[in-house]
Amino acid sequence: MMMGKLLAADFLKIRKKMIWFLIFLAPVGVVSLQAVNYGLRYDYLMKTTEADRWGGLLGGIHFLLTPALLLGIAIIASMVANIEHQMNAWKQLLALPIPRTSVYAAKFALVALLLSVSCILLGIGTVLLGTMLDLGDKVPLAEVVKLAFYPFAASLPVLALQLWMSLTIHNQAIPLTVGIAGSIVSMFVTLPAWVVWSWPTLINEAGKPEYSVGAGLVVGIGLLLLGMIDFMRRDVN
């Protein structure tokens, strides 16, 4: 009940913010870039992906999705936290008879729900693009769902870290710089397996995307709990 009220209040706070525009812009941008790619190289791409045309489309979108997702996490987490920072509302909010853990969990849930909307829109856009490109009558819905949600699940540790930084650091340039650097590096550099910014790529030694997803869920929950503990003990201004 308490979480529901906090979430409802947080949704009201972002009602007139640019956050919703970004939530829609990200999946539309990724799908549009892939549409342009096919528009410019249609014959070549159709020939090279003849054996699995849907797989070729999904692979191209996944390549663009990873940095966009990491960048989106950093920006959305920062924007959600900055609402309280800009209004200097932390002291008033934390003075209410509400557990700090609930406040923190509500912010995490808000960002996760917003990003889930983007994932759903990405899946819908992917199916529409594939249908328009006439890639085949049998749409691989299971693979589309994996494309939309596997990278997000694997990125939960990044979400937990970005939210913790955004909530506890007043200067949002710091968490944004970390998030932007992580998204850029993940695109051009092969990172060590322990670096969480590499997990949304779903590349691991076992060659099983589910391992990255499982690690993301477990480590993400662990980092969320650690962030809650730190938030409980910290003076947030």
Q: Is the pLDDT of residue 237 over 70?
A: no
Tokens standing for residue 176 = 């944004």
* Contact in structure between 104 and 189 (CB atoms under 8 Å): no
Give dist(CA 73, CA 85) in Å, integer: 18
Q: Long-range CB contacts (< 8 A, 24+ apart) of 169-174?
A: 170/85, 170/237, 172/78, 172/81, 172/82, 172/85
The H-assigned helical ranges of the chain are 2-13, 19-40, 42-48, 53-87, 90-95, 100-132, 141-154, 156-168, 173-188, 209-233
Asked if the model's pLDDT at residue 153 lies above 70, the reply is yes
pLDDT at 235: 73
CB 49 within 8 A of CB 83: no
Task: Give the pLDDT of residue 187.
Answer: 78
124-153 burial code (b ≥16 CB/10 A, e <16): ebbbebbeebebeeeebeeebebbbbbbbb
Structure tokens at 123: 């899946």
Residue 194 has what pLDDT? Answer: 84
CA distance 88 to 93: 10
Over 80: is that where the pLDDT of 137 sits? Answer: no
- The DSSP-derived string for 19-66 is HHHHHHHHHHHHHHHHHHHHHHSHHHHHHHTTT-HHHHHHHHHHHHHH
How high is the pLDDT of residue 236?
67
* pLDDT value, residue 116: 96
| Residue 198 DSSP class | G
For 12-21, 25-34, 108-117, 144-153, which range has the lowest pLDDT when averaged over its residues?
12-21
Contact yes or no for 163/51 (Cβ under 8 A): no
Class of residue 120 by CB neighbours under 10 A (exposed 0-12, middle 13-18, buried 19+): middle
Residue with tokens 């494309």: 147
Cα–Cα dist 10/5, whole Å:
9
Mean pLDDT, rounded, for 42-62: 90
The length of the chain in residues reads 237
Residues of the chain above pLDDT 90, percent? 61
